[in-house]
Amino acid sequence: MEEGAGEYGAIVGGKVVRVCARIPTHRDETAMNGAPGGGRRGILLCVRRRAVMTELKAAVIGTGGAARLHMQAYGTCAHTQPVAVCSRDPKRAEEFSAEFGVRGYTSVEEMLERERPDVVSVATLEWDHEAPVLRALDAGCHVLCEKIMAHTIPIGEGMVAAARRAGRSLGVNYNYRSVPSHRLIKEELERGGFGAPGLFSANMHAYLWPHLLDLLRYFFGDPVEVTAAIDRKSTRLNSSHANISYA
């Protein structure tokens, strides 16, 4: 993204000095309304005229450990302004908002309507991602959802379809792909530095199993077969094992 992307809109005529693409914001949509080819699905062009960058407004849904990391990250990102947090628990929303200097809400709908964020992190419990993701997308926000994306395949597919309909980006926070050592492994695999892989073995805390499974896909692509077993005694999960087969 270029520094100095300032005045912008749908360019319908005249000479454009410099054009750059970037993430559309709610304010972009307002500027584009009424322009030929404009609106939510229009092509956004930026004209470099003065050193002004529109800030992205960021909000977080959830107040747990992951939500705290998201809010901290937004606070360190250039051109990003954290504006709000939402929790069903009024006390947690109040404490979290005071800690980060943002506004607190207990209603997702109210937060989206009042704040009009450009990007929303959904950091609720794993089985409670669907509703806030769909509401944020419907409100025109880009969404970063915590792992796991959804607790059923149809729900996950529905979230992807909603993002496509809205013309917005939907990401899942499998951030282990960005670990430098993992990127190095990926590069070596792609250039054949390890030869043909015969066996990949890894140990991971149960809470981080989704990251390990995603790393397998990142390194080797989609498997052709998966078998798994869980050993339970009473209600305590003792161990689990999975075999993932490739062609």
pLDDT band at residue 200 under the 50/70/90 scheme: confident
pLDDT at site 11? 32
Whether 29 shows a pLDDT value over 60: the answer reads: no
pLDDT of 152-185, one tens digit each? 999 999 999 999 999 999 999 999 999 999 999 9
**What does 200-224 look like in DSSP terms, one character per residue?**
------GGGHHHHHHHHHHHH---S
pLDDT at site 47? 37
Query: Are the beta carbons of 107 and 88 closer than 8 angstroms?
Result: no
* DSSP β-ladder status, 80-86 and 170-172: unpaired
Instruction: Please give the Cα distance from 133 to 170 (Å, whole number).
Output: 9
pLDDT of 114-158, one tens digit each? 999 999 999 999 899 999 999 999 999 999 999 999 989 999 999
Task: Count CB neighbours of 199 within 10 A.
Answer: 4
Give the range among 31-45, 81-95, 101-115, 165-179 with minimum mean pLDDT. Answer: 31-45
pTM of the model: 0.72
Whether 20 shows a pLDDT value over 80: the answer reads: no
Whether 26 shows a pLDDT value over 70: the answer reads: no
Mean pLDDT of 204-229: 83
Point out which residues pair with 243 in neighbouring strands. Answer: 227
Query: Are the beta carbons of 97 and 115 closer than 8 angstroms?
Result: no
pLDDT at site 147? 93
Instruction: Please give the Cα distance from 191 to 155 (Å, whole number).
Output: 36
